[in-house]
Every structure is written in C-alpha cells, then in structure tokens.
Amino acid sequence: DFIGSITLLNSKENRVYRNGVGDGGFKDQNLDCEELLNLGIPLFPIGILGGEKNIINQNRLTGFKASCGIYLSQTKNNKISENTIDNFDQGIFLVGRDKAESFNNEFKANNIINNKVVVLFKELVQNNVFSENTFLNNEKQIEYNSSTKNEFENNAYDDYKGEGSYYIHTII
C-alpha cells in the first residue's frame, strides 16, 4: 500500500488495476469529499473527475474515516469491480455538477467495509448500478441528498435479517 491518490481527469478508457492506496491518515472527520475539495485537500485514493469508460479493478483502498475511497464527479459508463474499500467517511462518493451528471456507472463485486457511509449520492447522480457487492460493518449503507434513481441488486448486507424489504438509503 502507498499513500496518495490516483486521479483520472477527463480521461477515457483507462484501467486502474491492483493498486494499494491510502489517504495518508488525515484525521479531520465528518467532512464529505466535496468539503475537503473546497478546502483544497483532495483526499481520495481513487478519483474520476469528468471521465468515461474507465475500469477500476482489484484495488485495495484503505483510509482513516476522514475522506472517501472512490470519488466520481461528472462521470459515465465506468466499471468499478472487485475492489476493497475499507475505513472511510464515504466509501464511494458520487456527484454531478453544472448539469453534468454522474450516470451509468457500474459497481460490481466490491467489498465495502468499516465505513461511516458506504455510498453518498449528491446532486445529478442517477442510473448507477450496484450489484453483487458485500457491505460489512458500515455505520450507514446509503445516503442521498436528493431523490434519484439508482439500482441495487443482489448485494449482501451484514445488517439484513433475511425477512421482508430492506431499505438501504436515507434522504438527507
């Protein structure tokens, strides 16, 4: 593992594969990734800002509950699979900006563990698919700040009791 960030800026068709990345132990908790960026502190091990058709596969992201593991802003058609995302404020942070949405991203077979929030959806985020992921030992699974359509199918949640509907999000 190393401390730092892999950032794709307006990039297409890249593959980020088998890396170990950490957030460097930044300790100021309770800030979401947007707030950290506004402070000029880009603390996310993997970020895609304005890109499409990138593959993020088999990476291990380790944090100190003070940043986000994967940050996607204004992205589309990316495939994020088989990663371990461990110990962040937000394991996955999705946001759009200025009418540029984050959409049609696929999150498949990731292990998302020990996070404050597994996925935080901000504005202009829709039609992202989360399938076959494992959610373990997280404080909250999903938070939305607006009502958008995203799909969750065949995921494993450690707090699901196996009966009835499972509600995975909170509108904030």
What's the confidence (pLDDT) of residue 170?
Answer: 62
What's the confidence (pLDDT) of residue 119?
Answer: 92
Is the separation of the CB atoms in 129 and 100 below 8 Å? no
Q: State the Cα–Cα distance between residues 103 and 86, nearest whole angstrom.
A: 24
Give per-residue pLDDT as tens, 6-17.
Answer: 889 999 999 999
What's the confidence (pLDDT) of residue 2?
Answer: 47
Give per-residue pLDDT as tens, 78-89.
Answer: 999 999 999 988
Give per-residue pLDDT as tens, 22-39.
Answer: 865 555 555 566 665 665
**DSSP code of residue 100:** B
**Which residue type does 104 have?**
N
The radius of gyration of the chain's CA atoms, rounded to the nearest angstrom, is 14
Place of tokens 């990734």: 33
Could you list the beta-strand ranges (E) of 14-81: 15-17, 20-22, 46-49, 55-57, 60-62, 68-73, 79-81
Query: How buried is 58 (Cβ within 10 angstroms: 0-12 exposed, 13-18 middle, 19+ buried)?
Result: middle
Query: How buried is 78 (Cβ within 10 angstroms: 0-12 exposed, 13-18 middle, 19+ buried)?
Result: buried
What's the confidence (pLDDT) of residue 63?
Answer: 85
Mean pLDDT per block of 10 residues along the chain (172 residues) reads: 74 95 62 61 78 96 83 94 94 86 96 93 90 95 79 90 70 59
What's the confidence (pLDDT) of residue 159?
Answer: 85
